[in-house]
Chains A and B, each alone.
Chain A
Amino acid sequence: MALLELRNITRRFGKLEAVSNVTLDIAAGEFFTLLGPSGCGKTTILRMIAGFDAPDAGSIALDGRPLAGIAPEKRPVHTVFQSYALFPHLTVAGNIAFPLEMAGRTRDEIRRRVGDTLALVHLEDKGDAYPHELSGGQKQRVALARGLVNRPRLLLLDEPLGALDAKLRERMQGELIALQREVGVTFVFVTHAQQEALALSHRIAVMNAGRIEQVDVPEVLYSAPRNRFVADFIGTINLVEVSVTATAPDRLELAAAGLGALTTAPVADAAPGTRGALALRPEHVRIGRAGAPATLKNRVEGTVAEYLFLGDVTVYKVRLADGSRFEALETNAGAGRAQFHAIGERVTLQWRHDAGVFLRD
């Protein structure tokens, strides 16, 4: 049985349906992420789980027990707020002790657990400091410690890394994974940063306009997006408008206006004539000089419009015959300067017969 079950949750604010008929199961011990652009309803879901808001329709159950009508303080669920919401008049130790005091723990137990939790987040020497004396990363760790100290069944995290700079953010991502593994508490994480979601989560629910578009493990979400929104939102992807011309057991034959015949991996019931998009990740596309021998099944010609040298990889933006742009990514392992393709150079792009994903309209 799932730890947390959301069943057909709907929440309206006036005319706007912020959350539409969302159903989700989250298992104990999972690092689960709600990912989507701002305003997609992910924070509203979090607030309904925490008890600050209630669904207009549907039910939420924790450990099989419905949460409807249960006040936030009675739910074994704690939240790490985007702003951290550390109590400014209490010390770090006072902040971390707060949930234990509210739960009526003994003085000895509180002292011991506050000490343990400070050690867990590497802030042993900051117990007597006040929140305004801490750096952003330290505040973040205190907020995490405060949320975890009373061992909630569920820890909700509302864009907790949003306020940190890029470097610190990366480090905190690592700490967050380690922390979750160590304490074993189920995390429900909300973010609009897709890379963060991919790096941290066991499973991700991609949301758009109040609906869940796809729930999957990061690898599947990335390599087999179910629709254009997911494909476009996660990572970078090339989308080519196509229609199915023929089906085969090992591939789908497609026609793209202006680019000719292409193939991709087969999908269920895509009859000839079905319209859709071919979605192709830049790292599957091989770039070479125009007229290079064909080694892969799919092949289009174009002109380099722009390239970004990123150190480990180079991203080429290539203009195709039909005027659309295509991205190809080349790793720079062992490549010398001579291998680069200059702006304006004619190039050939190739990819395997099953590298792309056909997304039906």
Chain B
Amino acid sequence: MKRRVWLWGAALATYAFLYLPLAVVVLFSFNDSELNASWVGYTTRWYRVLANDTDMLQAAANSLFIALAASTAATVLGTMAGIAMQRWRPPLLAFLVLTPVAMPEILLGVSLLLFFRQVLDLTLGLFSILAAHVTFSTGFVAIIVRARLAGMDDSLFEAARDLGATPWQSFVRITLPLILPGIIAGFLMSFTLSIDDFVITFFVAGVGVTTLPLQIYSMIKVAVTPEVNAVSTLLMALTLSLIVLAARFAPETLRARS
């Protein structure tokens, strides 16, 4: 009995440590005060302020577009890389695909900036952000897809060919359904990585285009207003629904496998 109390206590403390800051943000987004200091009263004012903040809305739209486009591209590239890494094990591929994952973000940001400006002479903006996000997301998708394939019997794919499927039919009918949970998990992973990326985006954004994390950062340089809490709460809600979706479509990516 004593042991059980202790366990529950430890669990509660851990959850509190993880989720209390998030709960405070959500709570204070409804606080009727200019300051983020003490609770005054309930209001939805900050959400109205947010709805009229065109800069913030533009940044959110940019972030969403970039996250969707970058994670889609990263999912396609990463899936191909993951399959190739598992099936043919070409030398160097794994190293090349996974390096951006291990690289410190600050290094990746600087080198992408230099590459876009000095080598390609590109005008920084939506495209450069998009390209940067694809760069660091692809490796994550590849890792997840490869791990999924590694747990499978290779003779499944030979059996498909053996039973009359062309390589394409075999991919669509057998490989794709079997790795789909990995692909969905990879997509969601890239999406969340992209939508909250700050460091790399900061280097490659240029002056014209801004994303949600950059916008929030520029706001708190002035003062932390409850509007920041409101936008964070919405971002949290979006992420949470993505996780719920993922659990629904690909339960085994979130559940321990038996």
A interface vs B, CB < 8 Å?
A: 50-52, 71-73, 77-79, 81-83, 85, 87-89, 98-99, 102-103, 146-147, 150
Contact = CB atoms under 8 A, between A and B. Distances in A.
10 contacts: A51-B161, A51-B162, A52-B161, A71-B166, A79-B158, A82-B155, A85-B156, A85-B158, A87-B156, A150-B163
Contacts of B161: 51-52, 71-73
Contacts, number: 58
6 smallest A-B Cβ distances: which pairs? A102-B164, A85-B159, A99-B163, A85-B155, A72-B161, A81-B155
B163 A88 contact: no
A73 B155 contact: no
A43 B166 CA distance: 23
Contact of B162 (A78, A82, A88, A103): A78
Given A85-B153, A89-B177, 5 more contacts: A72-B161, A85-B155, A88-B156, A89-B178, A102-B169
B126 interface: no
B174 interface: yes
B159 A81 contact: yes
Nearest to B176: A89
B77 interface: no
B162 A72 contact: yes
A98 B163 contact: yes
A88 B153 CA distance: 10
A150 to B, nearest CB: 7
A89 B169 CA distance: 15
Contacts of B160: 87, 98
B131 interface: no
Identify whether the interface residues of B are mostly helix, strand, loop, or mixed.
helix
B178 A88 contact: yes
A271 B142 CA distance: 70
B155 A78 contact: no
Contact of B164 (A52, A88, A99): A99
B69 interface: no
From B161, B166, B174, residue with most partner A Cβ within 10 Å: B161
Nearest to B178: A89
B165 interface: yes
A147 B161 CA distance: 12
B173 interface: yes
Nearest to A47: B158
Given A72-B161, A73-B161, A81-B158, A87 B166 contact: no
B178 A78 contact: no
Contacts of B162: 50-52, 72-73, 77-79
A114 B178 CA distance: 23
Contacts of B165: 73, 98, 102
From A73, A89, A146, residue with most partner B Cβ within 10 Å: A73
B79 to A, nearest CB: 17
A72 B177 CA distance: 22
A158 to B, nearest CB: 9
Nearest to B165: A102
A334 B158 CA distance: 55
Nearest to B156: A85
Contact of B155 (A51, A72, A83): A83
B164 A73 contact: yes
Interface in B130-169: 153, 155-156, 158-166, 169
B163 A146 contact: yes
A98 B178 contact: no
